[in-house]
Amino acid sequence: MRLILLGPPGAGKGTQAERLVQDYKIVQLSTGEMLRAAVAAKTPVGLAAKEIMDRGELVSDEIVVSIISDRVEESDCANGFILDGFPRTIAQAEALTALLKDKNMELDAVVEIRVDEGILLSRIEKRASESAEVRADDNAEALKKRLSVYKAQTEPLIEFYTKTGELKTVDGMQDIDQVAQSIKEVLS
Ligand code: AMP
């Protein structure tokens, strides 16, 4: 099973990805987490990405495409994977289509978790207040930026994957278990 999880920051992609990992025995590939690890390890990629991430902007397509291209070939991806936070631009989506074709891998579905915009800020604020290690980009200013970046750069992917016939939309305003159930239904 190879999936993309699509949705704005705070939609619950990470939470749902964790469920899918267990249910389908696949791995979660979060470019955000990989980049945060690179920042923590002070690798060249991490050093280049840190300030961009702190501002809530997107790191270059080149960097994330190359990370994902290498990552999907690793042995733990043999059973499948969930892309969480990738692709985030049309250019990334086109690069993903090309690289999967190159590797003879097929995508099973793109799952969009749809939520009302109003709830996102309160969800992220809650995450910031509950998390022991607050993310540098979990503050009101960076969140606003991340939402506007999502709208401008990532939302067009909904039309992109509607056209390819791969998009499945679930209602992300339900509680966590119900969202998980809805995802299972659209995948079956
Ligand atoms: P996330 O954990 O998915 O919210 O990602 C955190 C931050 O990492 C984003 O705000 C971006 O700065 C960066 N990032 C993660 N994934 C991507 C991507 N696919 N393209 C560009 N930047 C990304």
Identity of residue 169: T
Q: Tell me, rounded to whole angstroms, the distance of Cα 161 from its chain centroid.
A: 15
Residue-wise pLDDT for 73-122, tens only, equals 999 999 999 999 999 999 999 999 999 999 999 999 999 999 988 888 78
Residue-wise pLDDT for 33-83, tens only, equals 999 999 999 999 999 999 999 999 999 999 999 999 999 999 999 999 999
**How many Cβ atoms from other residues are within 10 Å of residue 1's Cβ?**
15
Active site residue 25: no
Exposed e or buried b for every residue in 94-128, given b needs 16+ CB within 10 A? Answer: ebbeebbeeeeeebebbbbbebeeeebeebbeebe
- With beta carbons less than 8 A apart as the criterion, state whether 92 and 101 touch: no
Nearest residue by C-alpha to atom 14 in ligand 1: 32
What is each CA distance from 186 to 65, 83, 154, 178, 182, in whole angstroms? 27, 17, 22, 12, 6
Ligand 1 in contact with 31 (CB < 6 A)? yes
Ligand 1 in contact with 53 (CB < 6 A)? yes
Tokens of 184: 């299972």
Among 71, 123, 135, 168, which one carries the catalytic annotation? 135
Stated pTM of the model:
0.92
Active site residue 2: no
CA of 138 to the centre of ligand 1 (A): 12
Nearest residue by C-alpha to atom 1 in ligand 1: 32
Active site residue 55: no
